[in-house]
């Protein structure tokens, strides 16, 4: 804090030879000591020597001589050290004094006049504020006693309120414990319900999947049932015999399933076709008899394709219904016997059909059968079914009449079958 300066603080003028030893500890402006510091008597110096350590002032920097540099109003130039001991001794005394004052207060010294005035104003303000606070603290005793009584009453009320609140707190804590127990039970119930819900949804999804599958299967079965019923209705309305055995004609020939039955000189039908036509004819009559429950008295029809035949009941004898051609006079009479036996079976079937129903509803076949002949009621002509001693035209015509009777019998059986099916339905 020890400096040397040549600045005049009041007018900011520069004295080229003025020596300044101290600066203000607040504004750091250079200051000069009062000349009285240089004329202290011996007793004063002795008293000051007892207050501070002389070794401290050994740190004092000897004053330096400064001169103006001439370049700036505040410029300084170091010109050398002064070795005057007489001038140094007052500085040591002043420095010790300032250190003593600074150590006994919160303010560092020295201070310039302006900083000292500002510090004094601040101290006056602080003193005034302290006095006002002291004055305010010295209120009348009555007010203090009132406050004391008020505080005692308030304290008592607060104690009662505290006790009440403690009781309420205990009750609330008890209720909280009870609520916590209820909450735990509810949590357990919630967990159980969640488990049951999860199990329910699993079962629901399983049953839903099964229901969907069963509904699909049900719809499929309904579709199949509807299709089957439609097919059944169509089959019920279908004449099975007419579909299986189609009897028609082709010129002079009667046909069954497009197979000609007969032979003419102008149309030599192959015997393979004739034999196949006989096989279809035997199958038709056997089917009709079985359908209406008719058993022939003397014969049993054996459908066997183009080698069909008739068994004579009780004689262990077979009559063929197929031929192989050859001379008419050398023809095996078994074929004629077989056709005659077949015609007798047709006659029994005709009698059974015509015997059904009353007189008004009687069903009659168009051609009458007399032994081995078929009679035409329109011309009263009789055609034999045998080949021997017969013409091809007569034999072919007799076979055509035979198929016509079977066609009528087929129609009657189909009608009867349809009526019985409708009645059962």
- At residue 381, the 3 state secondary structure works out as strand
pLDDT digits (tens, 9 = 90+) for 405-422: 999 988 888 776 555 544
| Residues whose CB falls within 8 Å of the CB of residue 317, separated by 6 or more in sequence, listed in order | 311
pTM (predicted TM-score): 0.46
Question: Which pLDDT does position 96 carry in this prediction?
Answer: 74
Are 240 and 232 within 8 A, CB to CB? no
Distance from C-alpha of 190 to C-alpha of 184, rounded to nearest angstrom: 10
**Residue 389 per-residue DSSP state:** T
80: which strand partners?
65
Question: Which pLDDT does position 118 carry in this prediction?
Answer: 87
Number of neighbours of residue 77 by Cβ within 10 angstroms: 13
In this structure, what are the phi and psi dihedrals at residue 65, rounded to the nearest 5 degrees? Answer: -95, 130
pLDDT digits (tens, 9 = 90+) for 332-389: 688 999 999 999 999 999 998 888 765 555 678 888 988 889 988 777 788 899 988 8
Are 206 and 213 within 8 A, CB to CB? no
- pLDDT averaged per 10 residues in sequence order, the chain, 425 residues: 43 52 82 69 69 53 46 44 56 74 76 86 88 73 70 88 92 93 93 93 93 93 90 72 83 92 90 94 93 91 93 91 65 84 93 73 81 83 87 92 91 69 48
Q: How many residues does the chain have?
A: 425
Are 90 and 101 within 8 A, CB to CB? no
Are 297 and 348 within 8 A, CB to CB? yes
| Residues whose CB falls within 8 Å of the CB of residue 372, separated by 6 or more in sequence, listed in order | 336, 339, 340, 343, 384, 385, 386
Fold of 242-424: Actin-binding Protein, T-fimbrin; domain 1 (1.10.418)
Structure tokens given for 265: 């000189």
Are 18 and 6 within 8 A, CB to CB? yes
**Cα–Cα distance list, 142 to 111, 137, 138, 139, 262 (Å):** 49, 13, 12, 9, 161
Question: Which pLDDT does position 216 carry in this prediction?
Answer: 92
Extents of the domains making up the chain:
22-131, 155-237, 242-424
Residues 70, 73, 77, 81, CA torsion sign: positive
Distance from C-alpha of 136 to C-alpha of 67, rounded to nearest angstrom: 58
Question: Which pLDDT does position 23 carry in this prediction?
Answer: 84
Question: Which pLDDT does position 50 carry in this prediction?
Answer: 67
Question: Which pLDDT does position 419 carry in this prediction?
Answer: 57
pLDDT digits (tens, 9 = 90+) for 47-96: 666 666 555 544 444 444 444 444 444 444 444 444 455 556 667 777 77
């Amino acid at each position: 804090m020890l400096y040397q300066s040549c600045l005049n603080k009041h007018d900011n003028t520069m004295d080229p030879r003025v020596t300044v030893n101290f600066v203000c500890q607040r504004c750091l402006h250079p200051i000069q000591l009062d000349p009285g510091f240089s004329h202290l008597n011996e007793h004063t110096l002795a008293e000051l020597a007892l207050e501070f350590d002389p070794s401290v002032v050994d740190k004092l920097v000897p004053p330096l001589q400064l001169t103006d540099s001439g370049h700036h109003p505040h410029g300084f130039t170091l010109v050398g050290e002064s070795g005057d001991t007489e001038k140094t001794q007052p500085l040591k005394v002043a420095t010790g004094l300032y250190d003593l004052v600074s150590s006994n207060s919160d303010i560092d010294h020295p201070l310039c006049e302006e900083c000292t005035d500002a510090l004094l104003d601040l101290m006056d303000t602080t003193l005034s504020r302290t006095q006002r606070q002291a004055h305010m603290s010295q209120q009348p005793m009555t007010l203090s006693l009132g406050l004391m009584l008020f505080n005692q009453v308030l304290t008592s009320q607060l104690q009662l309120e505290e006790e009440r609140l403690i009781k309420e707190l205990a009750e609330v804590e008890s209720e909280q414990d009870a609520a916590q127990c209820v909450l735990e039970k509810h949590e357990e119930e919630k967990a159980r319900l969640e488990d049951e819900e999860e199990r329910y949804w699993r079962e629901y999804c399983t049953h839903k999947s099964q229901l969907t599958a069963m509904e699909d299967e049900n719809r499929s079965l309904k579709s199949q049932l509807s299709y089957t019923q439609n097919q059944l209705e169509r089959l019920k309305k279908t004449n099975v015999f007419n579909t299986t055995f189609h009897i028609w004609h082709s010129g002079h020939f009667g046909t069954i399933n497009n197979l000609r039955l007969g032979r003419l000189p102008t149309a030599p039908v192959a015997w393979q076709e004739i034999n196949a036509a006989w096989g279809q004819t035997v199958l038709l009559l056997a089917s009709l008899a079985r359908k209406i429950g008719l058993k022939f008295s003397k014969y049993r029809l054996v459908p066997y394709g183009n080698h069909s035949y008739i068994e004579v009941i009780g004689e262990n004898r077979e009559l063929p219904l197929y031929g192989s051609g050859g001379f008419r006079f050398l023809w095996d009479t078994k074929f004629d016997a077989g056709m005659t036996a077949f015609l007798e079976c047709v006659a029994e079937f005709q009698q059974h059909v015509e015997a059904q129903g009353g007189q008004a509803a009687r069903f009659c076949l168009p051609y009458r059968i007399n032994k081995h002949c078929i009679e035409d009621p329109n011309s009263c002509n009789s055609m034999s079914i045998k080949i021997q001693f017969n013409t091809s035209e007569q034999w072919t015509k007799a076979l055509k009449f035979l198929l016509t009777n079977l066609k009528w019998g087929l129609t009657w059986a189909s009608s009867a079958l349809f009526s019985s099916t409708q009645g059962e339905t």
